[in-house]
Structure 1
C-alpha cells in the first residue's frame, strides 16, 4: 500500500475501504498496519520461546528447530479438529489471525487482547522453563 501510493498517482483515491466497508484515511491505515505488524511479531514469540526451551533440552540445534516447528504444526492442526474444541482457546495459533480485526471499523478488541495474553503466558512459562533448565547445565566445561 505504502509503495503503491508513493510510486503511483493516488490523487483519485479517497481512502481505503476497511473490512467492514467504511473508508479509512491514510493515517488510520498506517497506524493499523504498524499495530498489525507488532501483533504478528508478538504472536511468533510463543513459538520462539518453545524453540528456546527445546534448545536447552538438546544439544542439536536441528532438533530444537524441528521441535518448535512440530509444536506449531500440531497447534494449527488441532484447531481444525472438533474433538479439540476444549483446548482450542489455549493453543498458541488460536488468535494469530486476529490482526485482521484491526482493519475493521470499529475495531473489535476481544480476540486481540486474548491473543496478546495467551502469547504472554506462553512466553513467560516457556522462557521460565528454559531458564530453569539452563541453570542446571554445566557450560564451563
Structure 2
C-alpha cells in the first residue's frame, strides 16, 4: 500500500494529485478525494496563513494515514497539505484514498480529513481584506465532534 504525505508551500492541483495515486493501476476500483480550499469569508479575508512544526506535522499525518490503512483495505493514500500564505480560492489540502471498493475509500478519506482538522499540528491566522491582521483561528467544536465518531 502506498502512503504519501507532503507538506509544502507551493500551489498544487488537487485533481492531478489524486489522479497520480491511481495512474497505471489496475487493482483500484475506487478513488475518493477531498480538496479543501481557502474561503474569502464573504470578502472579509485576504489570505490565511498556515504554520506547522516541520517533521512533527508529517509524522502525525503519516500516523493518521497508517491508522486509516489499518482500518480499511486501501490500495493507496495521499495527503498533500500546504503551509504559508494561502489566498482565497487556492487549495489548502487534498486527501485521496484508493481502494478496490468505494466504501473503504470514502470512509478512509473522511477519517483522515477529520483527524487532520483536530490532530495535525497546524495553526491558521487570518489576514483581513482591509489590510489588518486577524486572529489565530480557534478549533471548532464541530471538528472535535466529527473526530469522536471514529
TM-score by length of 2: 0.26
Rg larger in 1 or in 2?
A: 1
Name the structure, 1 or 2, with higher relative contact order (CA <8 Å, separation 6+): 2
Q: Of Structure 1 and Structure 2, which has the larger fraction of its residues in helix?
A: 1
